[in-house]
Structure formats: C-alpha cells, structure tokens
C-alpha cells in the first residue's frame, strides 16, 4: 500500500467524519471513558492518531470498527472536540461503502433474533454494519 | 394542545406498551398526540457520516409535516428522538445538508429546521410541569425505589440534544418524584447498555448490562425505568441480575390511574 493511498484514505476519513484529528492532545480521556475499550484492538485515542498520521491500512482491518457502540461518551468528554466516535464510524463507512465489507450478512440474521428482539436493534445494526 | 407525534417502528410492534401508555397519559393530562401520516422509520441510529443525505430524509419528512401543521413534534423512543433531533439540527445549521436534502425533497417551501422536537419527558417537565403532574397523580407509587436509566441517546451529544446535564441529569429523577416514588441515583445511569452491539456481541452486551444493573441494585433500586426499547431489551436479555425494567410511560399511566384502560 503506497503512502499516497493511505493519505488519500485518511483524507476521506477526515472528510466523512467532518472532524480534525490534529486537534487531539493525546490526553487519553476518550479511551478512559470508552465502554468498549477492552474489546478494541486499536483504542479510541490511538485511532485518532492513526488517522492523523495517515496510517489507514491498520484501521480498516481493525476489530474496533465493529466494537464501537456509537455511544458518544468519547465525543461528549473529549476536551478538544475531536469526536473519536465519528472518526471510527467514518472508517467503518469507508470499509462498508468502498470495500464491500460488512459485519452482518442476511443469512446469519435469523439465528441472532429471538421473540423479543426490537425492530430498533435490527434497523440500527443494519445501518452501522452494512451498506 | 395538539402535538405532532412520531411513534417510530418499534412502538408499533415490540414496544406497544411504551406508546399505548403514553397516549392514554397524554389524553388524561390534556394534550393530544396526532400521529404523523405515513411516517417512515428513522433508521434507529443517526448517520454519523457528514456526507450522508438519503438516510436523513425520513426524519426531514416527519419534521416538515409537523411544520406544515404548525405543531411541535413529540417523540418517545430515545433513538427516534436522538435521530430526529440531530437531523433537525443539521437542517438548521449545516448549509450543505439543508441544500442537498431540500433538493431531493422538492417541498413547496424548503425546510430549514423550523420544527421544535420535544421528547415526551420534556413535555412533562417544560409544558405540564412536574409540580402539576404531581397534583394529577391519583395512585402515588409510594415506597417504590426506582432507578432512572438514561442510557446515551437522550443525553449525548449534549450540545445538540440539550436534554439535561449529560453527566448529572435529573429529569427522570424529578419525574419519579412527581409520581410519588423515590429515585435512586447510581453511577451507571448514563452509561451505554451496548445498543446494537447486542445483536452480534452478546458477551460484550452482557458485560455492560451487568455493570448497569449491579450498580443500580447496589444503590438500592428495586426497578429501572427507560424510554428506549433497545435499552429495555438489552437490560432484560443480557443482564444476569434480575431487576425489572419498565417503560417510564407505564409507571406514569399507573400513577395517573389509567393502567387498566390503556
Ligand atoms: S479525548 Fe480527545 S484530545 Fe483526548 S485523546 Fe481522545 S481525542 Fe484526543
Ligand atoms: S463512541 Fe465508540 S469509541 Fe466512543 S466511547 Fe462509545 S464505544 Fe467508545
Ligand atoms: S428509532 Fe427506532 S423505533 Fe424509532 S423509528 Fe427509528 S428505528 Fe424505529
Ligand atoms: S443505552 Fe443502549 S439502547 Fe439505550 S440509548 Fe444507549 S445504546 Fe441505546
């Protein structure tokens, strides 16, 4: 993967998210507050600096894409208004839109449901995990 | 007083109680919820990509319909509220989104965020008032120790949701007091239950819901209330602790003496 490609994709992530990772002062507050922290291979604050450094290849392979809950705890508590949750979502979008990636296939859905599953759960998961 | 009302897909199905008790209570409290015609599902999660338009249009349509009737738009499900309120903010403040969405929709008059989006709880607080609500209670829930579970969608991002103090909210506790019960404040009330993660990451959801329910019962709550069908599902399904979870509207209807009719 060439540097320019990485840069291009990092640019795309910045555009989709509409945020500026360079504002980050590496305080780690986003990771400290993240409820999915333990499950993430790349932690929220690291995610931000990967994008700032145009290092995208690692990110698009990251498990963190599918572990983030979009709960906005990091967005609310970031002292620099960097919005890490939006940056993670933008990387997820990049994977889903452009690489045909997905974390949910139609086949696997029936066995994930039970009698009480609210529509909201399916609709939300579809929107975050698929194109 | 008449309001436009956006029930959302889940309230037509798995969360019928949330809706039915709200309508009965609204009527008893003297306001009318007029369901938006032909509303479409909001999608459940706010599209975070700043370039997304198509996924926001169902919210814009609902907002515009309320505008045409000159009514505020009332929501009940935390997720619908979150999505519609944020899309409304985009329509008001983000030129590019307003321009492109209006291009798509070709409305007679462009929509620019004019509608006020009001969560049912906000209506109780700001229009009826909790003091007035207290006077209307006929069956006070005396002695019940209730933990408010806010979750995330009603509170964050607070700049846009402007619902309550995101780290120390009190609207649901005030609501609980108005019904004659005792609110239990516990640290995890505004932490996430896992949301959509429970579809595929059952362990993760369990972990998060355990923390919430253990925190609540550790501080003495006998039950939890929520405004969100997904919080309800996750807390019921994923938590090992057996603590009952109710929609806030069910307790409202009960305290207003409407439970049997709804
Ligand atoms: S909280 Fe904000 S400033 Fe701190 S590390 Fe995270 S993104 Fe950077
Ligand atoms: S939005 Fe994602 S990254 Fe941010 S705190 Fe929530 S789970 Fe963690
Ligand atoms: S949030 Fe839920 S219940 Fe509300 S319409 Fe949207 S998906 Fe359906
Ligand atoms: S707490 Fe759970 S379902 Fe409720 S608002 Fe947050 S993620 Fe959604």
> Are A10 and A47 in the same domain?
yes
Tell me the sheet residues that pair with B119: B75
CB atoms within 10 A of CB A25: 11
> Are A88 and A128 in the same domain?
no
The per-residue pLDDT for range B89-115, each reduced to its tens digit, is: 999 999 999 999 999 999 989 999 999
In sequence order, which ranges of chain A are alpha helices (DSSP H)? 3-17, 29-33, 44-52, 57-60, 64-67, 73-77, 84-98, 109-112, 119-129
Interface test with A, best of B48, B54, B247 (most A CBs within 10 A): B48
For A70, the domain range is: 2-98
The per-residue pLDDT for range B186-205, each reduced to its tens digit, is: 999 999 999 999 999 999 99
Q: Which residues are within 8 A (CB) of A74 and not within 5 positions of it... i.e. 6 or more apart? A: A29, A30, A31, A33, A34, A44, A83, A84, A85
Chain A residue numbers with beta carbons less than 8 Å from the beta carbon of B196 are 69, 121, 124-125, 128
The per-residue pLDDT for range A10-61, each reduced to its tens digit, is: 999 999 999 999 999 999 999 999 999 999 999 999 999 999 999 999 999 9
> Are A66 and A11 in the same domain?
yes
> Are A30 and A80 in the same domain?
yes
Q: Which residues are within 8 A (CB) of B79 and not within 5 positions of it... i.e. 6 or more apart? A: A120, A124, B8, B10, B42, B44, B45, B153, B228, B229, B230
Q: Which of A72, A90, A125 sits opposite B156 (nearest CB)?
A: A72
Q: Residue A60 maps to which CATH number?
A: 1.10.1060.10
Tell me: pLDDT of B50 over 90.
Answer: no
d(CA A26, CA A40): 17
The pair phi, psi for residue B148, each rounded to 5°, is -80, 125
| CB B183 near ligand 3, within 6 Å | no
Q: How many domains does chain A have?
A: 2
Instruction: Tell how far the Cα of A88 is from the centroid of ligand 4, in angstroms.
Output: 18
User: Which of A14, A22, A52, A84 for a ligand 1 pocket mutation test, highest count of atoms within 8 Å of Cβ?
Assistant: A84
The per-residue pLDDT for range B208-224, each reduced to its tens digit, is: 999 999 999 999 999 99
User: Which of A82, A86, A87, A90 for a ligand 1 pocket mutation test, highest count of atoms within 8 Å of Cβ?
Assistant: A82
| CB A32 near ligand 2, within 6 Å | no
> Are A108 and A79 in the same domain?
no
User: Which of A12, A2, A7 has its CA nearest to residue A97?
Assistant: A12
> Are A24 and A74 in the same domain?
yes
Q: What is the mean pLDDT of the segment spanning B107-124?
A: 97
Confidence of residue B262 (pLDDT cuts 50, 70, 90): low
CB atoms within 10 A of CB B142: 10
What pLDDT is attached to residue B13?
85
Distance in Å, alpha carbon of A9 to nearest chain B alpha carbon: 15
> Are A114 and A80 in the same domain?
no
> Are A44 and A90 in the same domain?
yes
> Are A48 and A8 in the same domain?
yes
Burial of B159 (0-12, 13-18, 19+ CB in 10 A): exposed
d(CA B133, CA B255): 10
**Contact in structure between B181 and B143 (CB atoms under 8 Å):** yes
Instruction: Tell how far the Cα of A5 is from the centroid of ligand 1, in angstroms.
Output: 26
Interface test with B, best of A104, A120, A122 (most B CBs within 10 A): A120
| Average pLDDT of chain B, as a whole number | 95
pTM score, whole prediction: 0.90
String of DSSP letters for B50-99: TT--GGGHHHHHHHHHHHHHT--EEE-SHHHHHHHHHHHHHHHH-HHHHH
Residue A98 contacts B, CB cutoff 8 Å: no
C-alpha atoms less than 13 angstroms from C-alpha of B38 in its C-beta half-sphere: 4
Tell me the sheet residues that pair with B2: B32
Relative to beta strand B223-226, strand B245-247 is parallel
> Are A57 and A75 in the same domain?
yes
Distance in Å, alpha carbon of B152 to nearest chain A alpha carbon: 6
What pLDDT is attached to residue A127?
84
**Contact in structure between B147 and B189 (CB atoms under 8 Å):** yes
User: Which of A79, A86, A90 for a ligand 1 pocket mutation test, highest count of atoms within 8 Å of Cβ?
Assistant: A79
Confidence of residue B239 (pLDDT cuts 50, 70, 90): confident
Relative to beta strand B2-6, strand B73-75 is parallel
Q: What is the mean pLDDT of the segment spanning B251-257?
A: 97
The per-residue pLDDT for range A1-13, each reduced to its tens digit, is: 445 676 789 999 9
> Are A94 and A35 in the same domain?
yes
Ligand 4: atom nearest CA of B191 is 1
- Domains of chain B, start order: 2-120 (1.20.1050.140), 130-255 (3.40.50.11810)
Confidence of residue A105 (pLDDT cuts 50, 70, 90): confident
What pLDDT is attached to residue B127?
97
What pLDDT is attached to residue B242?
86
> Are A87 and A112 in the same domain?
no
Q: What is the mean pLDDT of the segment spanning B84-93?
A: 98
Asked if omega into A47 is within 30° of 0 (cis), the reply is no
With pLDDT > 90 as the criterion, what percentage of chain B qualifies? 89
């Amino acid at each position: 993967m060439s540097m320019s490609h990485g840069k291009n994709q990092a640019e795309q992530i910045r555009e989709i998210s509409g945020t500026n990772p360079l504002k980050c002062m590496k305080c780690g507050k986003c990771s400290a507050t993240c409820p999915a922290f333990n499950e993430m291979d790349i932690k929220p604050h690291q995610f931000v600096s990967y994008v700032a450094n145009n290092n995208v290849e690692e990110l698009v392979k990251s498990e963190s894409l599918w572990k983030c809950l979009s709960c906005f705890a990091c967005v609310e508590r970031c002292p620099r208004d960097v919005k890490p949750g939006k940056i993670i979502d933008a990387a997820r979008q990049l994977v889903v839109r452009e690489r045909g990636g997905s974390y949910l296939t139609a086949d696997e859905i029936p066995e994930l449901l039970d009698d009480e599953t609210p529509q909201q759960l399916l609709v939300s998961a579809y929107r975050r995990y698929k194109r | 007083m008449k309001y436009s009302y956006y029930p959302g897909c889940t309230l037509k199905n798995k969360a019928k109680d949330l809706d039915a008790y709200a309508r009965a209570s609204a009527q008893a409290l003297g306001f009318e919820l007029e369901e938006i015609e032909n509303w479409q599902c909001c999608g459940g999660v706010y599209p975070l990509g700043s370039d997304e338009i198509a996924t926001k249009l169902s919210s814009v349509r609902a907002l515009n319909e309320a505008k045409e009737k000159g009514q505020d738009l009332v929501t009940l499900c935390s997720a619908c509220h979150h999505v519609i309120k944020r899309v409304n903010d985009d329509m008001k403040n983000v030129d590019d989104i307003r321009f492109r969405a209006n291009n798509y929709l070709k409305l007679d008059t462009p929509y620019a965020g004019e509608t006020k989006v009001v969560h049912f709880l906000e209506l109780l607080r700001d229009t009826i008032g909790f003091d007035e609500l207290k006077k209307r209670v006929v069956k006070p829930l005396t002695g019940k120790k209730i933990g408010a579970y806010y979750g995330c969608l009603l509170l964050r991002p607070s700049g846009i949701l402007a619902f309550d103090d995101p780290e120390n909210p009190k609207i649901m506790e005030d609501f609980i007091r108005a019904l004659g019960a005792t609110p239990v404040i516990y640290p995890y009330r505004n932490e996430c239950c896992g949301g959509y993660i429970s579809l595929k990451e059952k362990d993760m959801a369990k972990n998060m819901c355990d923390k919430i329910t253990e925190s609540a019962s550790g501080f003495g709550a006998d039950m939890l209330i929520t405004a969100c069908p997904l919080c309800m599902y996750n807390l019921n399904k994923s938590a090992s602790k057996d603590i009952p979870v109710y929609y806030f509207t069910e307790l409202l209807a009960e305290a207003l003496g409407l439970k049997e009719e709804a």
